[in-house]
């Protein structure tokens, strides 16, 4: 069933991407990649689980964050070789990949919980403001990092490795908290990070506008 949902979402999206131009097309390509990354991660997680006999609870805080963040972040390497600036913040492209991933994951959980949950609408909304944002923010961290690398010509590999590690830790902590007695912390963490990111981007836009006006 999840395969049917994937193709039912991806094929119409491809038709839209063909009609778009410039960075609007690039943004939607990152979103579409997020859905592909989910399919790849699901296969890799199942393989690791099958070969190692790892319980899902253990997989969610060990291998799964590494696998999922790796696949989500892969297309961000494009910006290391791209010379011209982007109209959208790099964080937005990273967030698009994370959100695309999370939508496909939502479908999978929705299908598995359809006969269990009494209120599927509430269940999906709750996942959308917690797990979806977590996937977006974990990948978004790398988008912020790439912006710093390009703006200040920082050391590429050490910073990328550090930020990739942070995204994995954030992902693993979320999975750990959400399955514990302190799940409220896990539920609030992605939303708080998102609000901080919005404030940072908003402040950055104001500063850029002011600088251009003074110039």
What is the pLDDT, as a whole number, of residue 43? 94
Q: Residue written as tokens 């790892």?
A: 54
- The more confidently predicted of residues 104 and 112 is 104
What is the pLDDT, as a whole number, of residue 211? 39
Q: Which of 73, 61, 67, 64 is nearest to 100 (CA)?
A: 73
CA distances from 131 to 6, 64, 135, 138, 187 (A): 19, 14, 6, 10, 8
CA distances from 68 to 9, 11, 19, 39, 134 (A): 20, 23, 29, 10, 12
- The more confidently predicted of residues 115 and 30 is 30
**Phi, psi values for residue 210, rounded to 5°:** -65, -45
Q: Which of 95, 108, 88 is nearest to 41 (CA)?
A: 108
pLDDT digits (tens, 9 = 90+) for 32-80: 999 999 999 999 999 999 888 889 889 999 999 999 999 999 999 999 8
pLDDT digits (tens, 9 = 90+) for 170-197: 999 999 999 899 989 999 999 998 998 8
CB of 104 within 8 A of CB of 9?
A: yes
What is the pLDDT, as a whole number, of residue 114? 67
What is the pLDDT, as a whole number, of residue 204? 60
Tell me the HSE value of 135 on the side-chain side, using a 13 A CA sphere.
28
What is the pLDDT, as a whole number, of residue 214? 47
CB of 26 within 8 A of CB of 93?
A: yes
What is the pLDDT, as a whole number, of residue 205? 60
DSSP tag of 86:
P
Q: What is the Rg, in whole angstroms, of the alpha carbon atoms belonging to the chain?
A: 18
Q: Which of 102, 101, 96, 103 is nearest to 23 (CA)?
A: 96
What is the pLDDT, as a whole number, of residue 92? 93
This prediction's pTM: 0.88
pLDDT digits (tens, 9 = 90+) for 114-163: 666 567 788 888 888 899 999 999 999 999 888 888 777 767 778 888 99
In order, the DSSP letters of 103-169 are HHHHHHHHHHHTTT-S-HHHHHHHHHTTHHHHHHHHHHHHHHHHHHHHHHT--HHHHHHHHHHHHHH
- Of the pLDDT bands very low, low, confident and very high (cuts 50, 70, 90), residue 85 is confident
Q: Residue 203 above 60 pLDDT?
A: yes
Q: Which of 215, 58, 89, 213 is nearest to 151 (CA)?
A: 89
Average of per-residue pLDDT across 77-95: 89
User: How many Å apart are CA 105 and CA 140, to the nearest integer?
Assistant: 18
- The more confidently predicted of residues 41 and 203 is 41
What is the pLDDT, as a whole number, of residue 201? 77
Max CA-CA distance within the chain? 62
Highest mean pLDDT range out of 60-64, 79-83, 210-214? 60-64
């Amino acid at each position: 069933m999840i395969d049917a949902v994937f193709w039912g979402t991806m094929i119409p999206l491809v038709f839209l991407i063909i009609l778009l131009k410039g960075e609007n097309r690039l943004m939607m390509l990152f979103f579409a990649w997020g859905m592909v990354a989910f399919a790849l991660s699901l296969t890799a997680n199942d393989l690791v689980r099958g070969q190692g006999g790892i319980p899902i609870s253990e997989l969610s805080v060990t291998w799964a964050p590494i696998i999922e963040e790796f696949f989500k972040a892969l297309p961000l390497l494009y910006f290391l070789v791209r010379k011209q600036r982007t109209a959208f913040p790099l964080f937005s492209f990273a967030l698009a990949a994370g959100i695309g991933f999370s939508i496909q994951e939502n479908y999978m959980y929705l299908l598995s919980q359809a006969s269990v949950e009494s209120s599927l609408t509430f269940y999906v909304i709750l996942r959308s403001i917690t797990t979806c944002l977590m996937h977006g923010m974990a990948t978004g961290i790398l988008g912020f990092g790439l912006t710093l690398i390009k703006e200040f010509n920082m050391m590429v590999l050490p910073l990328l490795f550090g930020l990739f590690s942070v995204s994995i830790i954030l992902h693993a902590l979320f999975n750990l908290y959400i399955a514990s007695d302190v799940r409220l912390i896990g539920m609030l963490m992605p939303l708080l990070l998102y609000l901080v990111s919005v404030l940072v981007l908003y402040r950055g836009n104001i500063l850029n506008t002011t600088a251009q006006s003074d110039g």
